[in-house]
Structure 1
């Protein structure tokens, strides 16, 4: 019944399950822990969320506060490796997302960077360094991604030339390219690509061989892929044959 509930809503709490089923909160926590151990849901503080959609094609726009629970170690490893591709004095563009947030958390060795982002939570993370030039793009605020999109954000981007774009990817497919569930996100991602000298796509291996609703760009528009060590060997080989550099981050237990 818990799993059935998660098919119709994105998250559930111990308190609401306790009220509905008339059993103790201790019992509910034990049930949620057991389901988490069997990889049937993801345990969170005070409840649980459902697993991400694993279908080849997805139109679901998962809220960012849920995405942070998916493949956390992989994203942290990718963030560490991607940060090594940055050089002092770079102007970098950080797309919104939980993987690009991990890049923002690994910039301690730098003293002078200009960082442009459309992500509210990434901008807040960057404030902690107290030494970078941070530019937050204006625009329409999307609650699901905590990012700015739309014509104002796209117009803001047109005045900047960036050394490197770190592009978070919801769905990656060699034949179909890069895609995302939201059209506005796809539009601003396309503008980001056009204003960047080098494009670095960052995504964990669970995003491979999928296709979302809104097309961003073909694979040959990117220069580098940073993923985790579970990236399939055939995809690595295909990317390298296209002269795209591939980094596979080792995931620590």
Structure 2
């Protein structure tokens, strides 16, 4: 299962770089049958991550949107979520801000704090907070994943093991009912798991559109999540599902 997820993650990386992929070439590259590759592409298409065509697939705007453009998507909802999330932070807290457009909105609401430690692997968040005199910014290191402008990999994982924080604000790409939260990239999902282990409280921040999506890289089950902050577009079924799994839901207003 892990090999399958990793292969699909690599397919998406190639798709992002080249704009299209070819079944025969992928079969050779990963040393698997063309049937296996077609199954991979079918799965990714079901999750609206690509568009299949004869002999291969093309990228779709679902993941091909540049970071700057993604920040404009559902911006009003993300701003409300960011403001609401910041209200849960107390003076003297140490927090982790995961990479993502919604967590970036949290960072924009931290200027009033007089004493705060922020750990982040997101370059845009790090740059935004760099000139804040009262905020200690801790960067775990790693190598740059350009699509999300985030630091990932063994170095980041090793450094997170040495840390501890009061609250983790986690961005996700999708939910699976009664199971947990997902993202599109295996390496980011793996790093998120380290973040969860060092946090006293795990708070997922996601606009309501994320409840209609599911990535293929599993981050964590609902037993690891304490709160979800979302907007008032959340559907009743998703709301009840989270409550059924003992997750507190905060609707940003």
Counterpart-to-counterpart distance in 2, 1:58 and 1:135: 35
For residue 108 of structure 1, report the CA deviation from its aligned partner.
2.7
Aligned to 1:143: 146
Q: Does 1:57 align with 2:56?
A: no
Q: Distance in 1 between matches of 2:148 and 2:250?
A: 26
2:130 matched to which residue of 1? 127
Q: 1:91 Cα deviation (Å)?
A: 0.5
CA shift digits 1:193-244 (9 cap, x unpaired): 1111100000000000321121111122100000001111222222223221
Give the match's secondary structure for 1:134: strand
Shift of 1:128: 3.2
| Mapped pair 1:172 → 2:175 | yes
Q: Within 5 Å, which residues of 2 pair with 1:56-205?
A: 57-59=47-49, 61-62=63-64, 63-205=66-208
8 Å contact from structure 2 (residues 178, 245) kept in 1 = no
Q: Residue 116 of structure 1 aligns to a residue in which SS? A: strand
How many positions carry a matched residue from both structures? 199
The separation in 2 between residues aligned to 1:153 and 1:9, in whole angstroms, is 23
1:244 is matched with 247
Q: CA deviation at 1:64?
A: 1.9
* Cα distance in 2 between the residues matched to 1:224 and 1:171: 15
Superposition TM-score, scaled by structure 2 size: 0.74
Q: By how many angstroms is 1:75 displaced?
A: 0.5
Using the alignment, how far apart are the partners of 1:225 and 1:104 within structure 2?
Answer: 17
Counterpart CA distance in 1 for 2:80 and 2:248 is: 17
Q: Judge conservation of contact 1:180–1:212 (CA < 8 Å) in 2.
A: yes
Tell me the residue number matched to 1:30.
none
Runs of 4+ in structure 1 over 6 Å off: none
Classify the secondary structure of the residue corresponding to 1:175.
coil
Q: Can you give the 5+ residue segments of structure 1 that lack an aligned partner in the other structure?
A: 1-7, 11-54
Deviation at 1:58, TM superposition (A): 4.2
The Cα of 1:177 is off from its aligned counterpart by: 1.6
Is the CA contact 1:56–1:209 (under 8 Å) kept in the aligned structure 2? no
